[in-house]
Chain A
Amino acid sequence: MTETPAEPRRLRVLAAMSGGVDSAVAAARAAEAGHDVTGVHLALSANPQSFRTGARGCCTIEDSRDARRAADVIGIPFYVWDLAERFREDVVEDFISEYEAGRTPNPCLRCNEKIKFAALLDKALALGFDAVATGHYAQVITREDGTRELHRASDMAKDQSYVLGVLDDRQLAHALFPLGDTVTTKDEIRAEAERRGLAVAKKPDSHDICFIADGNTQGFLADRLGKAEGDIVDESGEKVGTHEGAYGFTIGQRKGLRIGTPAPDGKPRYVLDISPVNNTVTVGPAAALDVTALTAIKPRWCGTAPVGEGRYTAQLRAHGDETPVTAELVDGELRVVFDEPVRGVAPGQAVVLYDGTRVVGSATIAATTRATAAV
C-alpha cells in the first residue's frame, strides 16, 4: 500500500463540499487532475434551520443545494452524509464544556481532527476511497522516503495550516488540498469558479463558527449553560464589577466587560484569568497579559515526535502571527518558551509549531507563565 495522494496517479477522492467557493474549486481541480472524484456535503445539524439561516456559513439547506449544484456542474456524483450526531458529540459539546471550564476552544481544529479527517475519512476509506479533499489552503509534500509533510500554503495570506496542525501522518496520507500549492488571491479563486461555471463564485465567505447561527457566542453559551452571576476582580482581588457567567470570557478580551469603576491608572483593562471554580473573572492592565512560556497537552505530530529541545516558530491562533520559540516534549507535555513575551494566550487554544513552512505538530494550551506574576 503506497497511498500517497501527492503522487500523480488516479485516486478515488471524496471531496468535502461545504457549499462555499473554496471547496467547490478544490473539487473541480481534483477532478481536472484526473482523479475519480465524488462530492459529499456534511450535514452537521440534525435540524439545519436551527443553526443558521441565510447564505453564509454552513449547515443550511441552501448550502447543501449550492454544493449539489457545484457537483453537478463539475460532473461528479454528490451525496449528503449526515454526521450531525458525531458533530454534536465531538465538536459542539466539546466547545461548550471547554468554555464552561474557562478555556477557549477552536472548533474548526476539532472538526478537522474528529470529523473531516476522522469520521468522514474513516467512512471514505471503508467505502474504497483513497483520499479526502477539502478547500483548505495548505500543502502536503511527500518526501522521497514516502513520509508526508504538512506545509503552509504557497500564499501566506491565505494559509490555513494552523487548523490542520492536528492531523497526524496517517491522516495526511489521505488528505488532498488542491488549493494549497497555488498563489491565488480570493478574487482569483472566485474568477476561477466563475470560469468553471460554478454558481458559488460570488457567494460571501463564512467567518463565524458555523453552528452559532447569529455569531453571538456568548448568547449561544448562555442558552446552554445558563446565567451564573459572579464577580469581576482586579489583580489585588478587589471586586470591580459583576458578570453573568465566567464562561463567556476569553483571556485578552477587552470589550464587553462593563466595569463601572475605572482603573487607577485610567488605562484599559483586559481579562487576565477566568476561574470557573469560584466563577471569578480577573482583569488587569495589558502588560499583565504578557506570557513568556506555556505548557500544552495532547500533542499531535505531523510525522514523528521531535526529540529534545528545538527551535521553532509558534502560531497561537487561526490568523495570528508566528513567533520564535524554544520547545521541548517533557513527559508527554509540550513546554514552549517564547523569545519575546506574547499577549492574549488562552488555555484551550492550540499552539502549532512550525519549522520554516513545515508544520511540526500541535498541542492544546493548558497553562501559561506570565511575565508579571500578578495572577
Chain B
Amino acid sequence: MAYLDHAATTPMLPEAIEALTNQLTVVGNASALHAAGRQARRTVEEARETLAAALGARPSEVVLTSGGTEADNLAVKGLYWARRDADPARTRVLASPVEHHAVLDAVHWLAEHEGATVEYLPVDAYGRVHPEALREAIERNPDDVALATVMWANNEIGTVMPVHELAEVAQEFGIPLHSDAVQAFGQLDVDFAASGLAAMTVSSHKIGGPYGIGALLLGRDQTPVPVLHGGGQERQVRSGTLDVPAAAAFAVAAQTAVERRERFAAEIGGLRDALIEAVREAVPDAILGGDPEHRLPANAHFTFPGCEGDSLLLLLDAAGIACSTGSACTAGIAQPSHVLLATGTDPDLARGTLRFSLGHTSTRADVDEVAKAIGPAVERARAAGLS
C-alpha cells in the first residue's frame, strides 16, 4: 500500500499523538477561573506561544479555529464585513481563481448575499498570480477594495505564489491580504511577520497534528467581524470552548514540522522528483501540472491525455496506491478542476488528472509502486476512454 495523498491528510506524528492523549485525561475549561481551568488555560496559551513561534507570529495573532475551512471563512467574510462597515464603498474582493473551495465559495457567497463584487485575478499557465496583476486590479480603484485573498501554495497543482511581493503591493494601498497557507505550512518557510500578510490560514491535520483544529493568523490591527458569536474567546473573534488537547497536539506538530522542515523538504523533493521521473518514463506524454520551479516539494500533479482521472484512481486504488484526482465532487461526480480550467487547460484534458502528494511517511518503495502501476493503469484508462 502506497499512501500518496498527504495533501488530503497526513498521518499524525507520534509526538502529537502523545500530546493529545496526555491532555485527553485532564479536565478543565480554559475559560474557567478555578485551578482546573487555569491549568487548561496554561496549556492552551503555551500551545499558542509554540504555534506563534513556529509561524513567525506573536501569540496574540494566533486565533484558534476548527480548521482551515473555518479560518478561511473567518478571514474572507470577517474582513469583508469589517472593511465594508468602516467604508461602505469597499465591496470589491480580489481573489485568485485557483483558491481552495473554502475561500472560493466564501467569496462567491459574499457576492451572492452581501453585495460584494468579486474580481478574479489573472493567473499564468502555472496558476501563479503576478504582483503586477494585483497592482493593476487595485489601481483601477484602490478605495473600493475590501480585501484580497491569494493562497500561499496551490493544493492541486502545487504552484507556489509570490506571497511576499503580493503582500507588498497590498500593503502599499493599505488593503488586507489573506493567504491560505494550509499546504505551504510544513513544506515552505512560512513566516507570518515576514510575509506582510494581514491574515493567514493554517491547518493541523496537514502537518501531522489532529483533525478539527487550525488557526487564523491575524495581524493585531485586523478586527474581522466574527462568523461565530458566543463566549467571546479568541480576541472576541472566534467564540467557542477551546479544544485543549487538540491545541496542545497541534502546537507539538507545528513545532516538529518546522524544526524538520528544511531537511524534510530536501528529502521529499528528491523523492518527488524521482516519482515525476518514473511517471514520465512510463507515460511519456504525461503533462506535469503546476509551476516546475516554484512548487511544493511534496506535490506531483499530472494530466494524462485521453484518460479519465476517475478511471486511473480506481485502477491505482485496486493496485494499492492512494492518490487523488484533485478535483471537486458533486455527489461524487467528478467535475473538471477549477484550478486547471483557470490555467487555461482544455476541459476534456482537465478530466485526466492525478495528484500524488508525499509526506513524512513516504518512501522510495511508494515511488516504485507508482512506477510499476502507472503505465498499465494509463493504458487501461485510455481504452476505457472519456465516456
Q: Are B331 and A81 in contact (CB under 8 A)?
A: no
Q: Are B317 and A127 in contact (CB under 8 A)?
A: no
Interface size class of B (residues with CB under 8 A): 10 to 19
Interface size class of A (residues with CB under 8 A): 20 to 34
Asked if B164 CB lies within 8 Å of chain A CBs, one says no
Asked if A123 CB lies within 8 Å of chain B CBs, one says yes
Asked if B35 CB lies within 8 Å of chain A CBs, one says no
B331, B332, B385, B387 — most chain A CB neighbours (10 Å): B331
Q: Are B315 and A128 in contact (CB under 8 A)?
A: yes
Bound CA span A166–B29, Å? 67
Q: Are A126 and B314 in contact (CB under 8 A)?
A: no
Asked if B27 CB lies within 8 Å of chain A CBs, one says no
Asked if A38 CB lies within 8 Å of chain B CBs, one says yes
Partner pick for B317 among A43, A48, A65, A77, CB 8 A cutoff = A77
Asked if A287 CB lies within 8 Å of chain B CBs, one says no
Q: Given contacts A79-B310, A79-B332, A80-B331, is CB(A123)–CB(B318) below 8 Å?
A: no
Asked if B365 CB lies within 8 Å of chain A CBs, one says no
Partner pick for A82 among B315, B318, B333, CB 8 A cutoff = B333
Bound CA span A77–B298, Å? 26
Q: Please list 24 pairs of residues, one from A and one from B, whose beta carbons are closer than 8 Å in the complex, sorted by A's number.
A: A43-B331, A48-B331, A61-B331, A64-B331, A64-B332, A65-B331, A77-B317, A77-B318, A79-B310, A79-B314, A79-B332, A80-B331, A80-B332, A80-B333, A81-B310, A82-B334, A122-B384, A123-B384, A123-B387, A126-B383, A126-B384, A126-B385, A127-B380, A127-B384
Q: Given contacts A77-B317, A86-B387, is CB(A127)–CB(B311) below 8 Å?
A: yes
Q: Are A38 and B314 in contact (CB under 8 A)?
A: yes
Asked if B381 CB lies within 8 Å of chain A CBs, one says yes
Bound CA span A83–B308, Å? 13
Q: Given contacts A38-B318, A77-B317, A79-B314, is CB(A127)–CB(B381) below 8 Å?
A: yes
A41, A64, A127, A128 — most chain B CB neighbours (10 Å): A127
Q: Smallest CB-CB separation from A77: which chain B residue?
A: B317
A64, A77, A128 — most chain B CB neighbours (10 Å): A128
When distances are taken between beta carbons in the complex, the residues of chain A under 8 Å from B313 are: 79
When distances are taken between beta carbons in the complex, the residues of chain A under 8 Å from B333 are: 43, 80, 82
Q: Smallest CB-CB separation from A47: which chain B residue?
A: B330
Within the complex, the shortest CB–CB distance from A336 to chain B, in Å, comes to 36
Given A80-B331, A127-B315; 10 other pairs, CB 8 A cutoff: A43-B331, A43-B332, A43-B333, A65-B331, A79-B332, A80-B329, A80-B334, A82-B334, A123-B384, A126-B380
Bound CA span A79–B332, Å? 7
When distances are taken between beta carbons in the complex, the residues of chain B under 8 Å from A6 are: none
Bound CA span A83–B311, Å? 13
Chain B, interface SS category = helix
Bound CA span A151–B289, Å? 52
Partner pick for A68 among B317, B332, B384, B385, CB 8 A cutoff = B332
Bound CA span A119–B384, Å? 10
Q: Smallest CB-CB separation from B313: which chain A residue?
A: A79
Bound CA span A83–B384, Å? 13
Bound CA span A157–B317, Å? 40
In B311-346, which residues have CB < 8 Å from any A CB? Answer: 311, 313-315, 317-318, 329, 331-334
Bound CA span A41–B313, Å? 16
When distances are taken between beta carbons in the complex, the residues of chain B under 8 Å from A81 are: 310, 387
Q: Smallest CB-CB separation from A120: which chain B residue?
A: B387
When distances are taken between beta carbons in the complex, the residues of chain B under 8 Å from A41 are: 332
Within the complex, the shortest CB–CB distance from A330 to chain B, in Å, comes to 37
Could you mark each residue 13-52 of chain A with 1 if its beta carbon is under 8 Å from any beta carbon of chain B, else 0? Answer: 0000000000000000000000000100101000010000
Q: Smallest CB-CB separation from A123: which chain B residue?
A: B384
When distances are taken between beta carbons in the complex, the residues of chain A under 8 Å from B380 are: 126-128
B311, B317, B387 — most chain A CB neighbours (10 Å): B387
When distances are taken between beta carbons in the complex, the residues of chain B under 8 Å from A128 are: 315, 380
Bound CA span A41–B329, Å? 14
Within the complex, the shortest CB–CB distance from A75 to chain B, in Å, comes to 14
In B165-193, which residues have CB < 8 Å from any A CB? Answer: none
Bound CA span A64–B315, Å? 21
Bound CA span A81–B385, Å? 13
Q: Smallest CB-CB separation from A14: which chain B residue?
A: B314
Q: Are A127 and B314 in contact (CB under 8 A)?
A: yes
When distances are taken between beta carbons in the complex, the residues of chain B under 8 Å from A65 are: 331
Q: Smallest CB-CB separation from B329: which chain A residue?
A: A80
Within the complex, the shortest CB–CB distance from B273 to chain A, in Å, comes to 30
When distances are taken between beta carbons in the complex, the residues of chain A under 8 Å from B381 are: 127
Partner pick for B387 among A61, A79, A80, A83, CB 8 A cutoff = A83
Within the complex, the shortest CB–CB distance from A123 to chain B, in Å, comes to 5
Bound CA span A41–B317, Å? 17
Bound CA span A61–B315, Å? 24
Bound CA span A43–B387, Å? 13
* Minimum-distance CB pairs A-B, first 8: A80-B332, A126-B384, A126-B383, A61-B331, A82-B333, A64-B331, A43-B333, A123-B384
Q: Smallest CB-CB separation from A12: which chain B residue?
A: B318
When distances are taken between beta carbons in the complex, the residues of chain A under 8 Å from B314 are: 38, 77, 79, 127
Q: Smallest CB-CB separation from A127: which chain B residue?
A: B384
In A69-100, which residues have CB < 8 Å from any B CB? Answer: 77, 79-83, 86
